[in-house]
């Protein structure tokens, strides 16, 4: 591992988009540029094969290819977290071993997401899974996609299993986040990361260890700056930077009508910036000309704001 476990799960860890050149092919040049863009932006880790990375929509062949390419390009400069969420237990375990061999640092798993699973079943599932994994594991609460909340009591139970190092909460439910934070306060080594960047500042100021912010794919420095301002208790700077992040959400992410728009918007921006292709895996499709034009205007606006923001 590039870091001791104690240093994992801190700071801004972008859920990296997967640059694609077609349905079943990585945009290899784009991938390299994106990784360098993120590391240059100061991010504290990379989370690949998550929701923003379109993991479930990729063929298994491509997922393995991606893990390999990313590990090779990163060369231990930052920790790599690999999503192994799957409806098939066997596939999760298999991928985890490959990720370990390639040099990844930790794994991330949300509950299986087809037939809804009960909490008692979920605890048993995590127990069985953990015993077969070769790397530390981060729980991933993502009820909007999995239909299943990892309830606070379940988090508490699972947190006691060996190798569980933290939780990424993408529920967008701050009541849940606060409840879990309070319950695991007795376990300072158990880290909590916030998913939605529209809750990033609140979460960091009140004790989150970091954020898995999709927007950091586009503007890594902005999110890293906010994280550092929060750690240093520079409340005014936090507010100034947060305004920009909320503006990104209100403009770029609000273009179009589907829940896939966040990823579409991010990929569109990365394409406009010349970093990587904006091809999206089925069942989604990149923004067409009309939305792309709108996104371009939003990008220019955000770049203008960023250029005149001096803390």
Q: Catalytic residue positions?
A: 140, 168
Note whether 198 binds its own copies by CB under 8 A. Answer: yes
Residue from 202, 272, 286, 291 in contact with its own copies (CB under 8 A) = 202
Nearer to its own copies, 124 or 304 (CB): 124
CB 165 within 8 A of CB 130: no
- Of 285 and 297, CB closest to its own copies: 285
Q: Which residues of 10-26 are buried (b: 16+ CB within 10 A; e: fewer)?
A: bbbbbbbbbbbeeeeeb
Binding-site string for its own copies from residue 227 to residue 256, where x marks contact by CB under 8 A and - marks none: ------x-x---x--x---xx--x------
Closer residue to its own copies, CB minimum distance, 39 or 57? 57
**Does residue number 131 form part of the binding site for its own copies (CB under 8 A)?**
no
Length in residues, the chain: 311
At closest approach, how far in Å is the CB of 10 from its own copies?
Answer: 20
Check if the beta carbon of residue 66 is closer than 8 Å to that of residue 49.
yes
CB 66 within 8 A of CB 48: yes
Q: Starting at the earlier edge strand, list the strands of the sheet with 137-141.
A: 11-12, 210-211, 191-194, 164-169, 137-141, 106-109, 80-83, 46-48
The two structure tokens encoding residue 132: 């077969």
List residues binding its own copies (CB under 8 A): 23-24, 51, 56-60, 62, 87-91, 94, 111-118, 120-122, 124-125, 128-129, 144-145, 147, 172-175, 178-179, 182-183, 196, 198-199, 201-202, 205-206, 233, 235, 239, 242, 246-247, 250, 257-260, 263, 281-285
């Amino acid at each position: 591992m590039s870091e001791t476990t104690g240093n994992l799960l801190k700071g801004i860890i972008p859920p990296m988009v997967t640059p694609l050149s077609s349905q079943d092919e990585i945009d290899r040049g784009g991938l390299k540029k994106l990784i360098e863009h993120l590391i240059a932006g100061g991010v504290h880790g990379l989370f690949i094969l998550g929701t923003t990375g379109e993991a479930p929509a990729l063929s298994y062949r491509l997922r393995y290819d991606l893990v390999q390419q990313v590990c090779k390009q990163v060369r231990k400069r930052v920790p790599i977290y690999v999503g192994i969420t799957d409806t098939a237990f066997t596939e999760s375990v298999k991928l985890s071993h490959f990720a370990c061999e390639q040099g990844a640092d930790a794994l991330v798993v949300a509950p299986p997401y087809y037939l809804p699973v009960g909490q008692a079943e979920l605890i048993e599932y995590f127990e069985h899974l953990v015993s077969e994994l070769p790397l530390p594991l981060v729980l991933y609460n993502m009820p909007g996609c999995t239909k299943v909340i990892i309830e606070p009591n379940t988090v508490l139970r699972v947190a006691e299993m060996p190798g569980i190092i933290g939780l990424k909460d993408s529920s967008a439910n701050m009541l849940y986040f606060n409840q879990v934070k309070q319950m695991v306060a007795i376990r300072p080594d158990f880290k909590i990361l916030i998913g939605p960047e529209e809750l990033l500042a609140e979460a960091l100021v009140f004790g989150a260890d970091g954020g898995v912010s999709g927007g950091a794919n586009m503007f890594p420095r902005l999110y890293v700056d906010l994280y550092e301002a929060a750690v240093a208790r520079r409340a005014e700077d936090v507010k100034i930077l947060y305004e920009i992040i909320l503006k990104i959400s209100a403009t770029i992410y609000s273009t179009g009508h589907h829940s896939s728009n966040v990823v579409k918007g991010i990929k569109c921006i990365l394409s406009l910036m010349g970093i990587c292709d904006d091809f999206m895996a089925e069942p989604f499709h990149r923004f067409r000309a009309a939305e792309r034009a709108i996104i371009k205007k939003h990008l220019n606006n955000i770049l203008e704001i960023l250029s005149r923001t001096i803390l």
